A and B are shown apart, each in its own frame.
Chain A
Amino acid sequence: MSARPAPALICAGLEVALNRYLQLEPAALDDCAALARHSVGLLVDGFDWCLFIEFNARGVRVIGERPQPASVTLAGAPPAFAGLAVKLASGDSSLPPGLRVDGDADVLQAFRRLLGRVGFDIEEWIAPLIGGAAAHRAAQGLKALLGWGRDSSRTLAQNTAEYLVEETRDLARGIDVEEWMDQVDRLRERSDRIEARLARLERQRTAEPRSE
């Protein structure tokens, strides 16, 4: 790995966040202990940073440099890692596009399973701070707010696309683009055929003996 170690405070922030997340599910620490001999390397494109996640019975340790190479390395741009974090937080342990894996995929799979099994329940998390009933109402309100945000952004995207397609005609309709691409394909096939025919005629002309 030729990348430089990630700043120590970035490592610290990631470590504290991961350990707090793992603390939500005590059984996850047993999984961390089982992975104690392994490590996961993260290579952040753009910043050219590398960091290593090491496992132990207390959780994880995130460091910028390590004497031995990682068991498995995950490389990609920051948005791809952000996508991974969002997927894991929502219980989906699949890899988002844009991430490259190099090394022991079993270790990565175990790490993803380990993070995926920690359920994040906002209600349980805030209940000790504000009480059970208030936490329930706050969690419902937050869910409604997030749902409204999701719906609004979807509607906004749809309306913008329709405006650009139907009103300003800056974008083509999907069906028109498909038809145009079909026509391009047909044109390509015809030009290939005519090229082949011309080549055949050329060969015939050079093969015929001259009449004079």
Chain B
Amino acid sequence: MSHDPTDPKSASTTHFGFQQVPVAEKQKRVAEVFSSVARRYDVMNDLMSMGVHRLWKRFVIDLAGVRPGERVLDVAGGTGDLTREFAKQVGPRGQVVLSDINAAMLGEGRRRLIDEGVVGLPVLQANAEKLPFADRSFDCVTIGFGLRNVTDKDAALRSMLRVLKPGGRLLVLEFSKPLNAGLSKIYDQYSFKLLPLMGRFVANDADSYRYLAESIRMHPDQGTLKGMMEAAGFERCQVYNLTGGIVAVHRGFRLTA
């Protein structure tokens, strides 16, 4: 999360769910959460979203409009849901790179891709804030349910802009703010009561799923994230609210060389 450098408290700390933690510690604590949930990640996704996460991802894939021969980077790609579809679309002339900062998630992703016959694509452990790729090397970059866990989101957005070719696009799929007050109340009850309970019974880890709910509330809302993308240099930024704003897709383009 970006912080105000003039505020001495925010300069040294950032949020981890509802807690304030030293900036240097957030990455380690997020890593612990995802290492803990990696094995049950897909099961829990299906359970928590009642399968709707597949529709949200389908929307991102359609909106990305990836063509044969393109190069795609899936940042925070986790278990590789987006990577698998993009690999089909780019064909043998294109390339998809799966990256994630968390080794356990990346391992799960690689294992699942191999199980489903998707082989030969690069899998890379990388920090979204400092992507280890040359400038202007991808046609499309996606980050699905990953940006809210990044410590310095502004740096990550700048880094993703840097690796995009002119004309390339970034798609951010992330939890956001419900547009309707009634839905928001139901969603709060679900997130803070039911999610940790599911985490406890299915993944034997209530704390990680409590962090999930808290991190969603701390994530910038639709308008703020759009502003951050524009500040990073993206153009033609547009927000697509899904399921009443519970999830939003942000898309922006790098138009200048």
Q: Which residues of A contact B (CB under 8 A)?
A: 8-9, 11-12, 15-16, 19, 23, 54, 56-59, 61, 63-64, 66
B65 touches A16 (CB 8 A): yes
**C-alpha gap A15/B253 in the complex (Å):** 15
Provide the residues of chain A in CB contact with B239, threshold 8 Å. Answer: 8
Q: Which residues of B contact A (CB under 8 A)?
A: 59, 62-63, 65, 67, 139, 167, 236, 238-241, 253
**C-alpha gap A11/B236 in the complex (Å):** 13
A57 touches B167 (CB 8 A): yes
Q: Contacts A56-B167, A57-B167 hold; do A16 and B63 have CB atoms under 8 A apart?
A: yes
Say what secondary structure dominates the interface of chain B.
strand
B236 touches A63 (CB 8 A): yes
Closest CB in chain B relative to A61 CB, distance in Å: 7
Provide the residues of chain A in CB contact with B253, threshold 8 Å. Answer: 61
A8 touches B238 (CB 8 A): yes
Pick from B139, B167, B238, B241 the residue with the most CB of A within 10 Å: B238
Q: Contacts A8-B241, A63-B236, A64-B238 hold; do A19 and B65 have CB atoms under 8 A apart?
A: yes
Closest CB in chain B relative to A27 CB, distance in Å: 14
Jot down 20 A-B pairs with beta carbons below 8 A, ordered by A.
A8-B239, A8-B240, A9-B241, A12-B59, A12-B62, A12-B63, A12-B240, A15-B63, A15-B65, A16-B63, A19-B65, A54-B236, A57-B167, A58-B65, A58-B67, A58-B139, A58-B167, A59-B65, A61-B236, A63-B238
Provide the residues of chain A in CB contact with B139, threshold 8 Å. Answer: 58
Provide the residues of chain B in CB contact with A11, threshold 8 Å. Answer: 238
A16 touches B62 (CB 8 A): yes
Provide the residues of chain B in CB contact with A23, threshold 8 Å. Answer: 67
**C-alpha gap A119/B65 in the complex (Å):** 20
**C-alpha gap A167/B211 in the complex (Å):** 75
**C-alpha gap A16/B61 in the complex (Å):** 10
Across chains A and B, which 5 residue pairs bring their CB atoms closest together, nearest first? Answer: A8-B240, A16-B62, A19-B65, A8-B238, A12-B240
Pick from A11, A16, A64 the residue with the most CB of B within 10 Å: A16
Closest to B167 in A: A56
Pick from B63, B65, B236, B253 the residue with the most CB of A within 10 Å: B65
Provide the residues of chain A in CB contact with B167, threshold 8 Å. Answer: 56-58
**C-alpha gap A169/B65 in the complex (Å):** 57
**C-alpha gap A61/B67 in the complex (Å):** 14
Provide the residues of chain A in CB contact with B62, threshold 8 Å. Answer: 12, 16
Provide the residues of chain B in CB contact with A54, threshold 8 Å. Answer: 236
**C-alpha gap A12/B63 in the complex (Å):** 7
**C-alpha gap A63/B253 in the complex (Å):** 12
